[in-house]
Amino acid sequence: MDVEVKGAYIPSALVRLDPGEEVYCEAGLMVYSDPSVGFRYRWLTQGGLAGVMKRSMGGIPFHLQTFQGPGYVAFSRQRPGEIRTLELKPGETVEVAEHSLLLAERSVSYDCFYVPGTGRVGRMIGFWMDRLTGPGKVVYHGHGNILSFTLAPGETMEMDHGALLLKDASVTIQAYNQPLGGGLAGHAMSFEALHVSGPGRLALQTLDPSRDHPAP
């Protein structure tokens, strides 16, 4: 499988598939394809009916689309940003923020999990992440620019939840409320953020995909 990034402001990933090669993605990301490429659905059944309902309520798909070679097919998130490709070794796991995975090879196993929030009204009631385990290629879209870090054991960062893009499974995250000053007013005006701790790789994005951004 060959991946070529096309475009700059709103990029796409052009994938060339040999006979028998297959990739999967969320529905609605395919831009165009060779007529020789085949399509089918891949249903997600983790957690049974309760899991399907929870993902649906959270805006996470309960099925994926797969594309089989030979031929070419292009994918895009149709938002400003950058596209990166990551080659996973056997057993290597990364976790990608919701609505940031662009595609993955068939050999990459897929799961998703829920990150609890702080319990406050708003997005930080929790969010979803995709869990991908190699071997194989993973292609992901960073909204805005992608910032890459490698955290040492015990090294920590604080970040806005919308900035989280990708992390190694060894990197832990926990939601918390950051007060804006002391007293009741400071706690009432607190904002939700993430506490992140290493070791492992961490990628951030400079645009929050949950917010609307005006066109230039």
Q: What is the mean pLDDT of residues 64-74?
A: 95
Residue 59: pLDDT band by 50, 70, 90 thresholds?
low
Q: Is the pLDDT of residue 4 over 70?
A: yes
- pLDDT, one tens digit per residue, over 171-187 is 999 988 776 666 665 55
Q: Can you give the residue ranges of every domain in the chain? A: 2-205
Q: Is the pLDDT of residue 199 over 90?
A: yes
Average pLDDT taken over every residue of the chain:
85
Q: What is the mean pLDDT of residues 1-11?
A: 94
Q: What is the mean pLDDT of residues 105-115?
A: 91
pLDDT above 90 covers what percent of the chain? 62
pLDDT computed for residue 215 by the predictor: 45
pLDDT computed for residue 7 by the predictor: 92
pLDDT above 70 covers what percent of the chain? 79
Return the higher-pLDDT residue of 184 and 91: 91
Least confidently predicted of 149-153, 186-190, 201-205: 186-190
- pLDDT, one tens digit per residue, over 9-58 is 999 999 999 999 999 998 889 999 999 999 988 766 554 444 454 555 55
pLDDT computed for residue 120 by the predictor: 61
Q: Is the pLDDT of residue 72 over 90?
A: yes
Residue 126: pLDDT band by 50, 70, 90 thresholds?
confident
The pTM assigned to this predicted structure is 0.84
pLDDT computed for residue 181 by the predictor: 61
Return the higher-pLDDT residue of 155 and 114: 155
Architecture of domain 2-205: 4-Layer Sandwich (3.60)
The span from the CA of 143 to the CA of 168, in Å, is 19
